Amino acid sequence: MPRPRVVLSSPTSSYHYHCISRVVDRNFVFGTHERDVFRKILRQVEGFSGVRVLTWTILSNHFHVLLEVPPAPENPLTDAQILDRCRSLYPRGAMPKIEWEFENAQRLGGAPLERVRARYLRRMWDLSEFMKTLKQKFTSWFNREHDRVGTLWESRFKSVIVEGRWHSLLKVAAYIDLNAVRAGIVGDPADYRWCGYSEAVAGDRPARRGLAAILDEMNGRADWRDIGPRYRKVLFGIGEASTVRTGISPEEVAKVWEAGGRMSLAQLLRCRIRYFTDGLAIGSESFIERVFRAVPAAFSETRRSGARRMRGGEWGELRSARALRVRAIDLGGDG
């Protein structure tokens, strides 16, 4: 039986999630065009849902996304604001029907109008609805493009809740942006255009705002000239943004691991880190304990505490909700 997904909610606080979804049978189906379309749809769903994309990447058979899920606003959206969000998601040809639906409901007022509003509002500020809309919309396009029918994705997406503090978000974001490096596709994530960091380097404003929200405590308003070098230091464990190198080689990582040594963060990020994909929750000890108390059904009945130390490297204060003693750090491939 699959473990229950940890989804937290609060009327006042945002929550952050690392989500992963893979193609059914893990076939390698995404080429250049498919990845470009996925990026477009990802931003469309972001504009509709109010869920913020902090960073992301898509490879040949799966994608990763780091999301901030805020609470619904205290003041409900107006009908005009809901329609504006719909324009971010739906094609132009679909909008006259949606606009007519609202106009008709407004004439009736009362319960009919609330039902129409609720049908759209329930899909906003919600992790599961974000992922459902993203995957369904991409599947519809992909099936038309390739003259196929049926499901495209494995039935469930994985999600790990990440503490909303920079020291936790930063490590997970770097792990996501380094997927193509771990897969041996590029030596520098800036050269892989289907990830948040590459978008940001190319000048994409939403991508820069996403990384700024991780690194800056002023609500993502820091200048990219500050954010870019700070983030690159984490990606490569180096001092200058202008330095070009592939970072730690797989051979160096394997040598440290086989000798039983503790890897640096730069070395760890060149590995497949199951804590970030299967750890259930990532953050400080106090944060993991709050998750443990909030969703006891996600833990065994014999557990008396939530936080578990992470093996293999210099994690600092970072903790996981799962011990993952078997292959917690995997030297092979992307993930």
328: pLDDT strictly greater than 90 = no
Domains of the chain, residue spans:
15-72+151-330, 79-121
Q: From CA 55, how far away is CA 143, in angstroms rounded?
A: 26
Tell me what the mean pLDDT of segment 163-188 comes to: 92
pLDDT of residue 60: 95
Beta-ladder partners of 29: none
Specify which of 77-86, 241-250, 252-261, 321-330 reaches the highest per-range mean pLDDT.
Answer: 77-86
Contact criterion met (CB below 8 Å) for 196 and 202: no
Residue 26 has a CB neighbour count (10 Å cut-off) of 11
The whole-model pTM stands at 0.90
pLDDT of residue 239: 38
Can you tell me whether residue 101 is helix, strand or coil? Answer: helix
Q: Encode pLDDT of 246-273 as tens digits.
A: 445 556 655 655 555 567 787 788 888 8
pLDDT higher at 101 or 251:
101
4: pLDDT strictly greater than 60 = no
Residue 178 — φ and ψ, nearest 5°?
Answer: -90, 10
Can you tell me whether residue 247 is helix, strand or coil? Answer: coil
- Token pair, residue 15, equals 């929550």
Confidence band (pLDDT; 50, 70, 90) for 223? confident
Percentage of the chain beyond pLDDT 70 is 86
DSSP letters along 18-50, please?
A: EEEEEBGGG-----HHHHHHHHHHHHHHHHHH-
N-terminal to C-terminal alpha carbon distance within the chain: 23
